[in-house]
């Protein structure tokens, strides 16, 4: 069986990857002992080109505000690579705050394969969406819609047709979706962050006063959405 190293918070753990991802059921993927967990990407900091320093400040501030409102649940900031600038900025800032490291940590991995490849069970994942709530476009949005299959687009349409910057919508994942039965994910929360990329709609033209307010609102909406799902 193959093994690889994945960073868990700031330490490294060895994970077993022998499990066939095709044979999982939600009951395999979701152990009863796992606390409710939201995995979320850093909203707006890649395709939407939001400043990483400012975004990391907002993430840590919002996590500190919410981490005591979620009982035993966990918040996990995810990115694809060990070299992720946003993960290291957030880790450095979080270590200086009063944040329980069992309830908030960073994780390196593909948000659509956290259980099957990373051994981390998250029942809710967040998506850095576009305003039309459409598949594709690259980044984590393309990865989540592709891994979830067509049922996610249909289930999303039942909840909302579009999103305003700074808002989010929670979508229950149909049990036929591979993300449900292979990864144990029951909900996807689509979040629309501020856009600083002139090639994308509603660019804020470097207006970071508005941009920071929208990013604050986006994380508030995301974490409140998670709280309402786990209640
Ligand atoms: N798993 C974990 N993290 C990921 C993954 C993945 N599979 N893919 C990307 N990231 P982005 P944005 C990280 O660009 O800046 C889309 O086209 C990535 O490294 O996905 O909010 C939408 O349709 C970064 O840290 O989102 C929108 O139009 C974070 O996810 C637009 O991009 C967010 O990067 C949204 O842009």
> Which atom of ligand 1 lies nearest, measured to the CA of 48?
15
Residue 3 domain flag: no
Q: How far apart are CA 143 and CA 114, in angstroms?
A: 13
Question: What pLDDT sits at residue 34?
Answer: 86
In a domain, 40, yes or no: yes
Taking only the tens place, the pLDDT of each residue in 95-148 is 999 899 999 999 999 999 999 999 999 999 999 999 999 999 999 999 999 999
Pairing type for strands 187-191 and 168-172 reads antiparallel
Q: Is the pLDDT of residue 5 over 70?
A: no
Residue 41 CA, ligand 1 centroid: distance in Å: 7
CA of 75 to the centre of ligand 1 (A): 18
Please state the atom number of ligand 1 nearest to the C-alpha of residue 137: 17
Query: Does any ligand 1 atom lie closer than 6 A to the CB of residue 138?
Result: yes
Give the pLDDT confidence score for residue 32 in this predicted structure: 57
Residue 9 clears pLDDT 80, i.e. is over it: no
In a domain, 4, yes or no: no
**How high is the pLDDT of residue 14?**
30
Atom of ligand 1 nearest to the CA of 111: 1
CATH number of 40's domain: 3.40.220
The domain tally of the chain equals 1
pLDDT, tens only, 169-206? 999 999 999 999 999 999 999 999 999 999 999 999 99
Confidence class of residue 75 from pLDDT cuts 50, 70 and 90?
very high
Q: Is residue 10 part of a domain?
A: no
77 lies in a domain? Answer: yes
- Separation between Cα atoms, residue 169 and residue 172, nearest integer Å: 10
**DSSP of 28-65, one letter per residue?**
HHS-TTSPPEEEEE-TTSSTT---HHHHHHHHHHHHHH
Q: Is the CB of 149 under 6 A from ligand 1?
A: no
pLDDT at 30: 54
Is the pLDDT reported for residue 8 higher than 50?
Answer: no
Whether 183 is covered by a domain: the verdict is yes
Beta bridge partners of 52: none
45 CB near ligand 1 (under 6 Å): yes
Beta carbons of 160 and 166 less than 8 angstroms apart: no
Centre of ligand 1 to C-alpha 42, Å, is 7
Residue 111 lies in a domain: yes
Structural domain for 217, as ranges: 19-230
pLDDT > 80? residue 89: yes
ipTM of the complex: 0.99
List the residue whose alpha carbon is closest to atom 19 of ligand 1: 79
CA of 147 to the centre of ligand 1 (A): 14
Is 7 inside any structural domain? Answer: no
Q: Tell the residue nearest (CA) to atom 31 of ligand 1.
A: 47
From the list 193, 192, 149, 191, the residue with the least C-alpha distance to 173 is 149
Distance 198 CA to ligand 1 centre (A): 16
Q: Name the residue at shortest CA distance from atom 28 of ligand 1.
A: 130
Instruction: Report how far residue 129's alpha carbon sits from residue 183's, in angstroms, rounded to the nearest whole number.
Output: 20
């Amino acid at each position: 069986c193959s093994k690889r190293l994945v960073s868990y918070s700031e330490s490294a753990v060895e994970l077993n990857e022998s499990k066939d991802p095709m044979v999982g059921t939600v009951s395999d993927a979701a152990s009863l002992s796992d606390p409710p967990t939201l995995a979320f990407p850093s909203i707006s900091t890649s395709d939407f080109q939001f400043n990483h320093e400012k975004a990391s400040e907002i993430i840590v501030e919002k996590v500190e505000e919410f981490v005591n409102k979620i009982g035993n649940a966990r918040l996990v900031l995810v990115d694809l690579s060990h070299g992720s600038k946003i993960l290291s900025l957030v880790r450095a800032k979080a270590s200086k705050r009063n944040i329980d490291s069992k309830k908030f940590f960073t994780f390196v991995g593909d948000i659509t394969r956290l259980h099957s490849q990373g051994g981390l069970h998250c029942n809710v994942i967040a998506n850095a969406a576009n305003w039309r709530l459409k598949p594709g476009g690259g980044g984590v949005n393309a990865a989540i819609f592709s891994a979830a299959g067509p049922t996610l687009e249909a289930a999303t349409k039942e909840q909302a047709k579009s999103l305003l910057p700074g808002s989010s919508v929670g979508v229950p994942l149909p049990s036929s979706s591979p993300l449900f039965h292979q990864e144990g994910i029951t909900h996807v929360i689509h979040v629309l962050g501020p856009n600083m990329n002139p090639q994308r709609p509603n660019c804020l033209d470097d207006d970071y006063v508005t941009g920071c307010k929208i990013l604050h609102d986006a994380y508030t909406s995301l974490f409140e959405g998670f709280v309402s799902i786990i209640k």
